[in-house]
């Protein structure tokens, strides 16, 4: 069991998890947004390592990744900044397998672990091919977080639930990341995960408003908020501006938990 497994199971006993997402290197002061999110009540922060061909990401995060690449952001530079910042909540990196493969799997895992990163999401890494990465990552105490899609058959959900570390990422819809009008198929996806395993399950893709967070928090262990925050940064919002927004998501989740 990784450190992230232990921390998130403990967290589940206390409150719903709030996981804001930021693109590493999007601005020169991007870590100040992470700090603001933690001050606003984030329990985990997801940091995207930009890639030129992001198959899971919609237009907003694609734009953020392109800007970050233009700022010469790399896996190494982002890990260095995370190590300097030494945030007190778990940091989970999201990137694509090409980035890890190019840098070297063992080298990537050691870099992430030494930088204080607690976990990694690799959306284009199939469970059938994940063992080499998962082994070196676990050795570095870096959890490998796997995803369940609305289309995942129950036997595949079982395998993902057994192998996912830290939490299971429940995709609310068959779509790339982006803003949405509701929480889609999230309830059904979370139920499928809970029917086969006890791993904490967080809902992502389309969590746009505090109301969405409240809805998803009623049946999941937490929510991931990405495009809505990245869009605000692209539009020029400061870290202080975002702290207020993230506080509203925190309040919505806490209110849902009290009413349950």
pLDDT at 179 over 90: no
Total domains, the chain: 1
pLDDT at 31 over 80: yes
What is the maximum span of the chain, computed from C-alpha positions, in angstroms? 48
Look over the chain and give the mean of its residue pLDDT values, rounded to a whole number: 93
Run of H or E residues at 138:
helix 131-139
Region of 205 (left: φ > 0; alpha: ψ -120 to 50; beta: rest) is left
**Structure confidence by residue, pLDDT tens digits, 213-258:** 999 999 999 999 999 999 999 999 999 999 999 999 999 999 987 7
Q: What is the CATH number of the domain that holds 221?
A: 3.20.20.70
Cα–Cα distance list, 148 to 36, 133, 159, 169 (Å): 29, 18, 10, 6
The least confident of 8-12, 156-160, 179-183 is: 179-183
Mean pLDDT, residues 24-30: 97
- DSSP letter for each residue of 197-234: --S-EEEESS--SHHHHHHHHTTSSEEEE-HHHHHHHH
Mean pLDDT, residues 136-150: 96
The least confident of 4-8, 20-24, 175-179 is: 175-179
The least confident of 5-14, 124-133, 172-181, 213-222 is: 172-181
* Beta strands, E only, the chain: 17-23, 45-48, 91-94, 117-121, 143-145, 147-148, 168-171, 201-204, 222-225
Q: Which two tokens stand for residue 202?
A: 């967080």
Residues spanned by the domain of 175: 3-259
Q: Which residues are catalytic?
A: 46, 57
Separation between Cα atoms, residue 257 and residue 154, nearest integer Å:
28
**Structure confidence by residue, pLDDT tens digits, 52-87:** 887 777 889 999 999 999 999 999 999 999 999 999
pLDDT bracket for residue 176 (50, 70, 90):
very low
pLDDT at residue 174, rounded to an integer: 45
């Amino acid at each position: 069991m990784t450190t992230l497994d232990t921390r998130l199971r403990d967290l589940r006993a206390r409150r719903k998890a709030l996981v804001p997402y930021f693109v590493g290197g999007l601005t020169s002061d991007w870590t100040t947004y992470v700090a603001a999110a933690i001050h606003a009540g984030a329990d985990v922060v997801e940091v995207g390592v930009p890639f030129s061909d992001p198959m899971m990401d919609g237009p907003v995060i694609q734009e953020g990744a392109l800007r970050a690449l233009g700022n010469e952001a790399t896996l190494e530079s982002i890990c260095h900044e995370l190590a300097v910042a030494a945030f007190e909540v778990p940091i989970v990196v999201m990137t694509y397998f090409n980035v890890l493969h190019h840098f070297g799997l063992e080298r990537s895992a050691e870099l992430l672990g030494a930088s204080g990163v607690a976990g990694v999401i690799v959306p284009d890494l199939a469970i059938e091919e994940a063992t080499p990465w998962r082994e070196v990552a676990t050795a570095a105490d870096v959890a490998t977080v796997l995803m369940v899609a609305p289309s995942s058959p129950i036997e595949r959900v079982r395998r993902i639930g057994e192998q996912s570390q830290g939490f299971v990422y429940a995709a609310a819809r068959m779509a790339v990341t982006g803003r949405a009008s509701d929480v889609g198929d999230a309830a059904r996806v979370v139920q499928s995960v809970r029917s086969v395993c006890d791993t904490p399950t967080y809902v992502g893709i389309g969590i746009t408003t505090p109301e969405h967070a409240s809805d998803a928090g009623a049946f999941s262990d937490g929510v991931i908020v990405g495009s809505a925050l990245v869009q605000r940064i692209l539009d020029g919002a400061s870290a202080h501006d975002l702290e207020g927004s993230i506080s509203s998501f925190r309040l919505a989740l806490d209110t849902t938990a009290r009413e349950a």
